[in-house]
Amino acid sequence: MNILVVGGGGREHALVWKLAQSPRVTKLWCAPGNAGIGELATCVPIAVTDIAGLQRFAEENAVDLTVVGPEAPLALGLADRFRQRKLAVFGPTQQAARIESSKSFAKDLMLRQRIPTADARIFDRVDDALAHLERCAFPIVIKADGLAQGKGVVVAGTAREARDAVVNMLERRAFGDAGARVVIEEHLRGDELTVMAFTDGSTVLPMAAAQDHKRIGEGETGPNTGGMGAYAPAPLCTPALLDEMVRDVLAPAIEGLSRAGSPFCGILYAGIMVTDGRPRVLEFNARFGDPETQAVLPLLKTDLADVLQAAAEHRLDQVTLEWADRVAVCVVLSSGGYPDSYHKGFPITGLPDAAQDDVAVFHAGTARRDGATVTDGGRVLGVTAWAASFNAARARAYDAAGRIEFEGRYCRPDIAARVLT
């Protein structure tokens, strides 16, 4: 089987790494890939948003299955175009991907399907939104409706912060058209969980639940990032809670999309707040999480190519997922200054030293330059280790991460600290 993976971050490296282990995979390409991916797959310089270019590549190279990592190509209709051309693709259509690309669409779906979530109101007009804020208690959460690269959510502690956020989004268009509509919702407290599931539009196969560390600073402080580390399976997620989330969240979402005429094939990602043991949805994504994928896929024993192909062919009911009796911890190494501005192009040393048994060094923002591997993004690497206990996995991940150096290198020291025994 020839597979094309679309994307070039840590998530895609983990996908390529897992797919490369499949005896059924004969050829692997990744567009555009990165330095680490280039050791396992052929990187092709096509941007993830160049849908026509990706389609031509898939046709000219007899690609049997295209696997989409990031949300942007899904929101641009990659899966629609590929399906029209009879090209097999793992990823939802543009309409189904609205569960991520429009937070108001997701809210409406949740209401219709009685999926537990924060109470919310949706506004297009700044005066209506400001009038609503007069009646709200704080903190409150303001969300840009559209895709804003993880920056479109403001947890406002005061009325003033909330008003500023609304004006920034609706009037100043800080996020362009993505902020032409806002969702104002109840602030939820508790512990966050990520639950991702493979789905073909009817069968829902959940993966081990993960926890992500979203803030840049130790102890969950400072601004939000794409994710500074993750671990799985999250001890907070008991088998009963996972069943409950499939029954009350994932399955009704998939059913609601099918009923609306836009069946969802791909990964449905639910960001969940668990309050007093009960789950409520913070957000849906239409793709694998990053860095959650780097913590979850190393634990999957089933051949990933089989699972993705079965989903693309709508026969996921024939698949059972098997998991290693292990836990995994992923520590992200980022560029100094991230998530604000940072410099790129610094040589990375120690990569061969970090490669050990039960460790995978997933590249995110890296590139090859003059024979060296250099930094090329905010999140540079994700070092995942797996073991029988969180204590062992975490120690191994930090030990391997400690062998890698580059100028400005930063990592949070407290990834998975809360689950140590």
Which residue of 8, 289, 377, 378 would you call a contact of ligand GLY, by CB under 6 A?
A: 289
Separation between Cα atoms, residue 218 and residue 213, nearest integer Å: 9
Sign of the Cα pseudo-torsion (143, 212, 186, 283, in order): positive
- The residues that bridge with 369 in the sheet, in sequence order, are 372
12 binds, among ligand GLY, ligand AMP, none (CB under 5 to 8 A by kind): none
DSSP state of 188: P
Shortest separation between residue 268's beta carbon and ligand AMP, angstroms: 14
Our finding on whether 155 is near ligand AMP (CB under 6 A) is yes
Separation between Cα atoms, residue 299 and residue 325, nearest integer Å: 8
CB atoms within 10 A of CB 413: 9
Residue with tokens 């299955």: 65
Phi, psi of 155 (to 5 degrees): -90, 105
By beta carbon distance, the residue nearest ligand AMP is 283
Size of the site for ligand AMP (CB under 6 A): 14
Shortest separation between residue 189's beta carbon and ligand AMP, angstroms: 7
- The residues that bridge with 347 in the sheet, in sequence order, are 374
155 binds, among ligand AMP, ligand GLY, none (CB under 5 to 8 A by kind): ligand AMP
Which residue of 12, 185, 292, 376 would you call a contact of ligand GLY, by CB under 6 A?
A: 292
- Rounded to whole angstroms, what are the CA distances from 69 to 84, 124, 225, 291? 20, 30, 18, 12
Shortest separation between residue 421's beta carbon and ligand GLY, angstroms: 25
Q: Which is nearer to ligand GLY, 29 or 152 (CB)?
A: 152
141 binds, among ligand AMP, ligand GLY, none (CB under 5 to 8 A by kind): ligand AMP
Which one of the spans 104-112, 184-192, 245-253, 393-401 is the region binding ligand AMP (CB under 6 A)? Answer: 184-192
Shortest separation between residue 289's beta carbon and ligand GLY, angstroms: 4
Which residue of 282, 329, 404, 411 would you call a contact of ligand AMP, by CB under 6 A?
A: 282
Q: Which is nearer to ligand GLY, 91 or 227 (CB)?
A: 227
Separation between Cα atoms, residue 29 and residue 12, nearest integer Å: 11
Q: 187-226: which residues touch ligand GLY (CB under 6 A)?
A: 212
Per DSSP, the residues of 353-364 read HH--TTEEEEES
Our finding on whether 294 is near ligand GLY (CB under 6 A) is no
3-class secondary-structure state, position 163: helix
282 binds, among ligand AMP, ligand GLY, none (CB under 5 to 8 A by kind): ligand AMP
Residue with tokens 């840049």: 216
Which one of the spans 187-195, 200-208, 362-370, 402-410 is the region binding ligand AMP (CB under 6 A)? Answer: 187-195
Site string for ligand GLY, 357-396 (x = CB under 6 A): ----------------------------------------
Contact of 292 with 228, CB cutoff 8 Å? no
List the one residue out of 29, 25, 30, 28 whose CA is nearest residue 1: 25
**Which ranges of 313-409 does DSSP label H, i.e. alpha helix?**
351-354, 390-402
- Rounded to whole angstroms, what are the CA distances from 264 to 77, 197, 255, 288, 337? 13, 11, 9, 14, 37
Q: Which is nearer to ligand GLY, 88 or 227 (CB)?
A: 227
Which residue of 201, 227, 298, 382 would you call a contact of ligand GLY, by CB under 6 A?
A: 227
Site string for ligand GLY, 96-115 (x = CB under 6 A): --------------------
Phi, psi of 158 (to 5 degrees): -130, 165
Shortest separation between residue 115's beta carbon and ligand AMP, angstroms: 14
Our finding on whether 214 is near ligand AMP (CB under 6 A) is yes
List the one residue out of 157, 397, 203, 176 whose CA is nearest residue 311: 203
Which residue of 50, 290, 303, 376 would you call a contact of ligand GLY, by CB under 6 A?
A: 290
Q: Which is nearer to ligand GLY, 80 or 292 (CB)?
A: 292
Measured in residues, the chain has a length of 421
- The residues that bridge with 3 in the sheet, in sequence order, are 28, 65
Residue 100, both tokens: 């991520």
Separation between Cα atoms, residue 130 and residue 366, nearest integer Å: 43
Q: 99-138: which residues touch ligand AMP (CB under 6 A)?
A: 118
227 binds, among ligand AMP, ligand GLY, none (CB under 5 to 8 A by kind): ligand GLY
What is the pairing mode between strands 140-144 and 182-186? antiparallel
Binding-site ranges for ligand AMP (CB under 6 A)? 118, 141, 143, 153, 155, 185-188, 192, 214, 271, 282-283
Binding-site ranges for ligand GLY (CB under 6 A)? 212, 227, 285, 289-290, 292
